[in-house]
Amino acid sequence: MPAELDTFLASWTEDENAVKPLFLSLYSLLQGLGGVELEYKGRPGVSHSLRALYPGRKDRPLFVLVDIIDDAPEARWLSICFYADLVTDPEELGDVVPGGLAGEDARCFDVDAPEGMEPFLLERLKEAYGSVSKGL
């Protein structure tokens, strides 16, 4: 775990929206995926970003951005964004954001009420990882 992320997570005690357990679940899955590198960028008051990279993909190593939106620290929420062509959205829970991830179309899932979202989002992470690790 990047030390800065560890420090932030230890300080995250207020969680009105109950999104911290979902973030920890997503983070745990990402840590267990082979060949994945994780980067953290904290911008207190704006966001805390966990970026998952698959360096074997030289054309587009980033495959998911998990942002903890920090504009209201007591009621943080998550935004999980993938390149639109890496994941499906069978339940139409996400939004397509033109040019939303490094200038390419993204599919983003904003979560401020995580109940029931964990299995769906874990599946999207696995799907994106499968796409990048197979070179799609």
Q: What is the pLDDT of residue 39?
A: 95
Buried b (16+ CB within 10 A) or exposed e, 49-79: bbbbbbeebeeeebbbbbbbbbeebeebbbb
Which pTM was predicted?
A: 0.93
Closest-CA residue to 122 (of 19, 25, 40, 20): 25
- The helix/strand/coil state of 64 is strand
The predicted-structure confidence for 51-97, as pLDDT tens digits, reads as follows 999 988 888 889 999 999 999 999 999 999 999 999 999 999 999 99
Q: What is the pLDDT of residue 135?
A: 63
φ, ψ of residue 135 in degrees (nearest 5):
80, 20
Q: Cα separation of 81 and 110, whole Å?
A: 9
- Beta-bridged to residue 62, according to DSSP, are 53
Give the pLDDT confidence score for residue 7 in this predicted structure: 94
| pLDDT given for residue 60 in this prediction | 86
pLDDT tens for each residue of 98-129: 999 989 999 999 999 999 999 999 999 999 99
